[in-house]
Amino acid sequence: MQIALFDTTLRDGTQSEGLSLSVEDKIKIARLLDGFGIRYIEGGYPGANPKDEEFFRRASELKLKQARLTAFGSTRRTGGTAASDANLQALVKAGTPAVAIFGKTWLLHVTDVLKTTPKDNLAMIADSVAFLKQHGLEVVFDAEHFFDGFRADREYALAAVQAAAHAGADWIACCDTNGGNLPSTVAEIVREAKKVLTVPLGIHAHNDSDLAVANSLAAVEAGCTMVQGTLNGWGERCGNANLMSVIPALQLKMGLDCIPKENMERLTEVSRTASEIANLRPRAHAPYVGASAFAHKAGAHVAAVAKSPVTFEHIPPEKVGNSRRIVVSELSGRGNIRARAAELGVELRGNETDLVARIKQLENQGYQFEAADGSFELMLRRTQPGYSEPFEVLDVVVISQRRSSSDMFVEATVKIKVGDEISHVVAEGSGPVDAMDHAFHKALDHHFPVLRQIHLCDFKVRILDPDSATAAITRVLVESSLGSDRWSTIGVSQNIIEASCEALKDALELPLVRAAKA
């Protein structure tokens, strides 16, 4: 059976707090969705704001290969006519082959929000759908609050969706708008709706109970053949049904077609590309596509996965374009060390037990190597025959003071030894870590030109024992990059400058050690 995917990232997804998409962003995401195999792409609310108006004006640029661009709106206003309604006219002018309109199915909203009669609301639904059908449009009727409305008044909720169906709606999407229903309730109500409707049904679930994906799958099992959702579950409040979880569940677990089979391996890529466009950090623990989705930390788990991945993986990560990761921490065993060393191309010398003991000792002091892959890799490489420290930090002084002006002045002085040469340099920065970073580069870049391409991407500080107040132990994580390659390094100390210096030193040493072994 084919399930139609209806993506509402560009409309419902943009209502997510902290998410803002430009017109260019929306065009990029629409092309991404089209290439991935999504059937319907809801572009926004024409007439509602200048951004959506411009998006629909430029829609011809998209040249979609298979997706149907869809404009979104509502039923006509009470007391008017569909033909004179500005919202419905804007939907027609948008020039999309399909439209989605929402209408009220819960009497509470009819009487208290629209301030109209139940009979008038049914007429609003029917008139609006009929008007759009007269203009040759495919119409998806979003039955807003359908499940809550059904529980409050079964007959009226069904009468509302029947009004849309009789007027010619091509789809009826049952909406769990408040996201408060359970899968069993959703399935039961969908089955009841199917008894009175011949129009195909869809599901539009919100995630306020953390059940949007479960409710979507339950609705499909009960007979829905359209699933609405968003990339990465973005959306208002707690978000919408996450299509990155819905798609593999439908296709890999339930045997239902929703995207071309060959595109399933692009799932992780699509998720992360969308996050990059939206300037949002991907959620590490997201199912299927997260960096931690197939990460193994416990030693017993790693040992089992090494023998048979199915022991602790519900699907092969490659099926969704993800990869297995072996995490090293105080919970690790020798198997974790061996697996990570193999991934890094580092040959161990039978010293796994010593390395495990060292890691447990350091993590007891506050280090966290699962978050500092770069520092862990350095630990392994420093045990290799022929390892030679590329540079030695002899001295570091950081001064932060307020001078005659109102601005704080920060200066770092470092003394670094490379071979027989000692460099003693001074650099300024916007803060202590920035000044140290500039000073390190000033001392090292002419010795190691590759370091000119190394950039500090992120800097995180965590207080490990806040009860100790200003004497607390501080953990510093530094993320660095060389092109598309990124790594994290760690430093721990009661002195934040010392912890930062340790993390910065590792960040610059790692690419040099890698190059020496290449």
The tens digit of pLDDT for each residue in 494-506 reads 999 999 999 999 9
Kindly tell me the burial class for residue 386, based on how many C-beta atoms sit within 10 Å of its own C-beta (0-12, 13-18, 19 or more): exposed
Residue with tokens 């007269």: 134
Residue 139 β-bridge partners: 99
384: tokens are 């290799």
Please report, as a single letter, which amino acid is at residue 245.
Answer: S
Domains in the chain, start-ordered, CATH in brackets?
Answer: 4-259 (3.20.20.70), 295-381 (1.10.238), 392-517 (3.30.160.270)
327-375 residue pLDDT tens: 765 555 667 777 777 777 777 877 777 887 888 788 788 887 877 889 9
Sign of CA dihedral 174, 179, 180, 184: positive
Distances (CA, A) of 444 to 60, 108, 277, 450, 454: 52, 69, 35, 10, 12
153-186 residue pLDDT tens: 999 999 999 999 999 999 999 999 999 999 999 9
Question: 451 Cβ partners below 8 Å, 6+ apart?
Answer: 441, 444, 445, 508, 511, 512
Distances (CA, A) of 420 to 391, 450, 511: 10, 20, 21
**Binning pLDDT at 50, 70 and 90, where does residue 518 land?**
low
pLDDT score, position 329: 58
pLDDT score, position 406: 65
Q: What is the DSSP letter of 106?
A: S
**Average pLDDT over the chain, rounded to whole?**
92
Q: Exposure pattern of 260-298 as b/e (b: 16+ CB <10 Å)?
A: eeebbebbbbbbbbbbebbeeebbeebbbbbbebbbbbb
C-alpha dihedral (367, 372, 374, 376), degrees to nearest 10: 50
280-330 residue pLDDT tens: 888 989 999 998 899 887 777 777 887 888 999 999 999 999 988 777 655
Query: What is the separation, in whole angstroms, between the first and last Cα of the chain?
Result: 51
d(CA 158, CA 105): 8
Question: 60 Cβ partners below 8 Å, 6+ apart?
Answer: none
User: What length does the chain have?
Assistant: 518
333: tokens are 């065993």
Sign of CA dihedral 292, 298, 304, 310: negative
188-233 residue pLDDT tens: 999 999 999 999 999 999 999 999 999 999 999 999 999 999 999 9
40-73 residue pLDDT tens: 999 999 978 889 999 999 988 888 999 999 999 9
7-47 residue pLDDT tens: 999 999 999 999 999 999 999 999 999 999 999 999 999 97
Residue with tokens 């129009």: 199
DSSP letters of 5-64? Answer: EEE-TTTTGGGSTT----HHHHHHHHHHHHHHT-SEEEEE-TTT-HHHHHHHHTGGGT--
**Binning pLDDT at 50, 70 and 90, where does residue 419 land?**
very high
Say how many CA atoms lie within 13 Å of 208 toward its Cβ: 11
C-alpha dihedral (23, 26, 32, 34), degrees to nearest 10: -100
Please report, as a single letter, which amino acid is at residue 396.
Answer: V
Range scoring the smallest mean pLDDT among 119-128, 352-361, 450-459: 352-361
Secondary structure (H, E, C), 391-444: CEEEEEEEEEEECCCCCEEEEEEEEEEECCEEEEEEEEECCHHHHHHHHHHHHH
Element spanning 462, H or E: strand 455-463
pLDDT at 392 over 70: yes
pLDDT at 507 over 90: yes
pLDDT (mean) for 367-392: 86
Angle at Cα 308 formed by Cα 303 and Cα 313, nearest 5°? 90
pLDDT (mean) for 98-121: 97
Q: Where are the beta strands (DSSP E) in 60-130?
A: 68-74, 98-104
Alpha-carbon radius of gyration of the chain:
29
pLDDT at 93 over 90: yes
177-194 residue pLDDT tens: 999 999 999 999 999 999
pLDDT score, position 291: 87
pLDDT at 470 over 70: no
d(CA 442, CA 452): 10
pLDDT score, position 119: 97
pLDDT score, position 403: 67
pLDDT score, position 391: 96
pLDDT at 77 over 70: yes
Residue with tokens 């000033």: 442
